Amino acid sequence: MLLSLNWLRDFVDLPDELDPHRLAERLTMVTCEVEGVERVRVDADGLVVAEVLTCEPIAGTRDLCCVELDAGAKRLTTISAAPDLAVGKKLIYAPPGATLPQIGKVGRTEVAGRQSEGMIVPGEAVGIEQAAHHAIFLPPSTPAGGPINVGQLDDWIVEIDNKTITHRPDLWGHYGLAREIAAFAGATLKPYTEFISPIERLQDASLPEIPIVIDDADKCPRYTGLMMDGLAPQPSPLLMQARLSHVGIRPIDLIVDLTNYIMAEIGQPMHAFDGEKVACIEVAVTHPGDRFTTLDGVDRVMPAGALMIQSGRRNVALAGIMGGADSEVTARTTRVLLESANFDAPTIRRCAAALGHRTEASARFEKALDPNNTVLSIARFVKLAEQELPDLKLASRLSDAYPKPLPPVSIDVDLGFVNRLMGRDVEASRVEQILQALAFEVARAGEGKLRVQVPSFRATRDVTIEADVIEEVARFVGYENIEPQLPAVRLRRFEPNALHRIERRSLEVLCRSEGFAEIQTFLWDDESWLAALGCDPGQRIGVRNPPAAGTDKLRRTLLPGLLAAVERNRHYLDDFSLLELGSVFLPKGIEGCKQETEFRHLGLACVLRGGRKTEDRCVDRVRQAIENWARHALNRPVEFALPDDGPRFVWEHPHKRAVVMVSQRCVGRVTAVPEALKARIHEHLGRWSIALAELRLDGLLDLPAVEVKLRPVPAYPQVQLDFSVLGATERSFAQIRQLLETFEHPLLRRVTFLDSYQGSALPQGKRSLTLRAWIGHGQRTLTDQDRRHFEQAFTQFLAQNDLPLRS
């Protein structure tokens, strides 16, 4: 929102030498954020009021007119492209010798073969908001030839960040900000009653009352109207046009400008109906499917439960948002019904959102406006209109339907609590002074207690509890006047968050020791990528308002995202490892979920240049990483088992695939990416081998604690014996390990795995496995005989179990 400093000065006396930047800083610190301060200065001189005497289009040109002007003493002729020129209109004219910003001195020139003296000043030349080339028209009463006081075009504009005043309906106009400024500047705020026509005058009982019916008082607590005659459509005075322009509103004509002017002053939107067409008012609630054409010519389907202004049960305006095309004021209008109403904020907001049509009016009604502004704004309108239109007559009394008065808000404030919450002491008198400057009524209510009456413009939603009142005190005391002090803490135990702990440790191990680079991708699947992979992840939770087409499902697995990342990064990297730690979402009924469930997954991808040749190494690398992850992040070993189902997803390999077991729980799967999928992603991706793993961390939170015990150094030396055996290839190492569990020998300390080999040197269907047995004795050094006995027993055991020594 834009503020005019000159306008603020109407309401509060500010020193002439006031630095607007300093004012902006104070506003930012006490009230709301100022986004910028800008000087508006019009370097013009010698401008006069001129009346159009004749206006002839010049044949052969598209839009030029030859205009004869009365500029006081002399008649002058100028050639102009300004539209809407008509005989009798008053406008701003720069005669020869005048100066204009950017243009400089205006003189006599030749245009389209004719002599042109001076120029009709276009709005943009002096900062009046108009379409390009449009003249600035002035009220008909303005005497021709009179000088233009360009001083009224100079101003300082302060831009307020709208987001910082969404909770303050009173700040959506100059008067509310003037109140804040007066309060922190110690200046006096002029009462708004000085600026309005006396309300008693408007309540003239001799005039008829406008019939007003409100169907739902909750949605429309107050509706005020006034009928006026003698409103001729005419331009507004230059000062009003300048101020509206400076705050970003384009001047149109007096009636519209007045409603906008008052909206910019106290934040109250108004609407002017053609009084010939609208003579009575009903405030109705819409039904589903109702249609209405707003004055911008758009036919709209109304949401149910919105407010519609009707006259004789005929729709005439979309309450709080926009008027209707049929009832708007036109050039022929002389009788006007002025509406100033108070609508329920959520009703207006929902309707504007449903229609996708937010207007200046709806943006203000959304803030929960002060119902007392309906009467004030109409009284202000009459005051300003009468200054311009001496023939204005009231055609009705002030008609005010107020079925649901705003309940008074009174708050008890404990001064001790004020001091405790602020962390500094403030005198009771200072608290009173601050609140009174903001129009709160304050009464002492016993020792250390105040009873505070909230003014109506703060009582609609903004100030409801003690803390709200304390904020008023604190911001005027100034946060910079509160001495920082660290809190005194009471020690206590917090049960650590197991999931967070595992997550952090997992990343520490994998990224720091195992060489994984962490990525973070979006929470929703990319359907086009899934289609490219040929992957159907099945039922998923949907996003009702997805960020883009084809991203309307939440991911169930991290691996498609990791595959996309692999394809992206392999263009400039040979060997690399990626991981993502993030949430995945399962719908109800999938994997036994009783409801929609979020899981934390850890996805791993290892990539090695070398295609099929490096594939085993690649899977090993992921498995090693998982082993280290389990050891360091979970403090326990991991085992790999053969899955008892087939590949679940396109990226799972028919053979090179395992489930990851931790403490007998399956926590995830690891797989090589099959050639076919790589080829499908990109013809060159086959030059790399890729291994993937996905682990679910949620299943690991309640693992029993493991105690780590270290062994004493053996008192007598141990001996290592290596055994290379031949076994059937389909026999998994996991099975062999189970078998070895059953071998018992008093000297055996442990068996470790050295390597596994498969190749043409071996018989078909066989592989070689090298195991290392560690033997030792607790009380003595081993003898050759010990060693021979063990070798014999172990070899025999292996041979009996179809694992003969490789000769």
Partner 1 sequence: MSLFEQLEQIGQQARQAVERADDPQQLAQAQSAVLGRKGSLTQLLRALGTLDPSQRVEVGKVANQLKQELTELFAARRQALQSAVDRRRQQETAAYDPTTPAQRGQIGSVHPVTAVQWEIEDVFTRLGFTVEAGPEMDSEYYNFDALNTPATHPARDIQDTFWLSNGMLLRTQTSAVQVRAMEKFGPPLRVVVPGRCFRSETVDASHSNTFHQLEGLVVDYDISIANLIATMKLLLREVIGRDLPVRLRPGYFPFVEPGFELDMACQICGGKGCRTCKNTGWIEMLPCGMVHPNVLRAGNVDPREYTGFAFGLGLTRLAMMKYGISDIRTLTSPDLRGLLRPELLYGPPVVSPDDRQKG
Q: Site residues for partner 1, window 297-336 (CB under 8 A)?
A: none
Report yes or no: 786 and 747 within 8 Å, Cβ to Cβ. Answer: yes
**Which residue number, 28 or 801, has a Cβ lying nearer to partner 1?**
28
Of the candidate residues 297, 484, 646, 717, the single one contacting partner 1 (CB under 8 A): 484
Nearest CA among 384, 383, 374 for reference residue 224: 374
Of the candidate residues 487, 712, 759, 763, the single one contacting partner 1 (CB under 8 A): 487
E strands along 610-742, which residues? 638-641, 657-662, 665-672, 688-696, 719-728
Q: How many CA atoms lie within 13 A of 418 on its CB side?
A: 24
Span near partner 1 by CB under 8 A; candidates 238-246, 297-305, 379-387, 490-498: 490-498
Distances, alpha carbon 314 to alpha carbons 260, 277, 327, 328, 333, in Å: 26, 10, 10, 14, 20
**Which residue number, 198 or 547, has a Cβ lying nearer to partner 1?**
547
Q: At closest approach, how far in Å is the CB of 511 from partner 1?
A: 5
Q: At closest approach, how far in Å is the CB of 588 from partner 1?
A: 8
Q: What is the footprint of partner 1 within residues 167-226 (CB under 8 A)?
A: 167-168
**Which residue number, 58 or 543, has a Cβ lying nearer to partner 1?**
543
| DSSP secondary structure letters along 647-681 | --STTS-SSSEEEEEETTEEEEEEEEPPHHHHHHH
Q: What is the footprint of partner 1 within residues 408-427 (CB under 8 A)?
A: 420-424
Span near partner 1 by CB under 8 A; candidates 377-385, 505-513, 646-654, 795-803: 505-513
Of the candidate residues 14, 29, 392, 703, the single one contacting partner 1 (CB under 8 A): 29
Q: At closest approach, how far in Å is the CB of 565 from partner 1?
A: 3
480 lies in the binding site for partner 1 (CB under 8 A): yes
499 lies in the binding site for partner 1 (CB under 8 A): yes
> Binding pattern to partner 1, positions 350-389, x when CB under 8 A?
x--x------------x-----------------------
Both tokens of residue 682?
A: 């990109």
Span near partner 1 by CB under 8 A; candidates 7-15, 166-174, 222-230, 671-679: 166-174
Return d(Cα 623, Cα 603) in angstroms, integer: 13
Q: In one letter, which amino acid is 390? A: P
Report yes or no: 214 and 223 within 8 Å, Cβ to Cβ. Answer: yes
| DSSP secondary structure letters along 381-405 | HHHHHHHH-TT-EE-S--EEE-SSP
Of the candidate residues 330, 583, 735, 752, the single one contacting partner 1 (CB under 8 A): 583
Query: What SS3 state is found at 793?
Result: helix
Return d(Cα 652, Cα 619) in angstroms, integer: 12
Q: In one letter, which amino acid is 535? A: C
Of the candidate residues 74, 75, 114, 504, the single one contacting partner 1 (CB under 8 A): 504
Return d(Cα 595, Cα 593) in angstroms, integer: 5
Span near partner 1 by CB under 8 A; candidates 30-38, 740-748, 764-772, 785-793: 30-38
Helix (H) or strand (E) holding 762: none
Of the candidate residues 197, 340, 577, 671, the single one contacting partner 1 (CB under 8 A): 577
**Which residue number, 267 or 561, has a Cβ lying nearer to partner 1?**
561
Span near partner 1 by CB under 8 A; candidates 33-41, 53-61, 75-83, 788-796: 33-41
Q: At closest approach, how far in Å is the CB of 5 from partner 1?
A: 18
Return d(Cα 501, Cα 634) in angstroms, integer: 10
**Which residue number, 200 or 483, has a Cβ lying nearer to partner 1?**
483
Instruction: Measure the N-to-C terminal CA separation of the chain; round to a whole number of Å.
Output: 91
**Which residue number, 447 or 483, has a Cβ lying nearer to partner 1?**
483
**Which residue number, 331 or 489, has a Cβ lying nearer to partner 1?**
489
Return d(Cα 270, Cα 329) in angstroms, integer: 13
Q: What is the footprint of partner 1 within residues 82-121 (CB under 8 A)?
A: none
Q: What are phi and psi of 467, to 5 degrees?
A: -60, -30
Q: What is the footprint of partner 1 within residues 36-55 (CB under 8 A)?
A: 36
Give the long-range contacts of residues 749-752, CB within 8 A, separation 24 or more. Answer: 749/718, 749/774, 749/775, 749/776, 750/774
Helix (H) or strand (E) holding 729: none
Q: What is the footprint of partner 1 within residues 595-654 (CB under 8 A)?
A: 596, 598
Q: What is the footprint of partner 1 within residues 547-576 (CB under 8 A)?
A: 547, 554, 561-562, 564-565, 568-569, 572-573, 576
Q: At closest approach, how far in Å is the CB of 606 from partner 1?
A: 10
515 lies in the binding site for partner 1 (CB under 8 A): yes
Of the candidate residues 490, 594, 655, 709, the single one contacting partner 1 (CB under 8 A): 490
Span near partner 1 by CB under 8 A; candidates 223-231, 450-458, 539-547, 652-660: 539-547
Q: In one letter, which amino acid is 754? A: L
Q: At closest approach, how far in Å is the CB of 484 from partner 1?
A: 4
Between the CA atoms of 320, 322, 325 and 326, what dihedral angle is there, to the nearest 10 degrees? 10
Of the candidate residues 332, 492, 594, 655, the single one contacting partner 1 (CB under 8 A): 492
Return d(Cα 744, Cα 261) in angstroms, integer: 98
Of the candidate residues 2, 18, 20, 35, the single one contacting partner 1 (CB under 8 A): 35
Q: At closest approach, how far in Å is the CB of 371 from partner 1?
A: 17
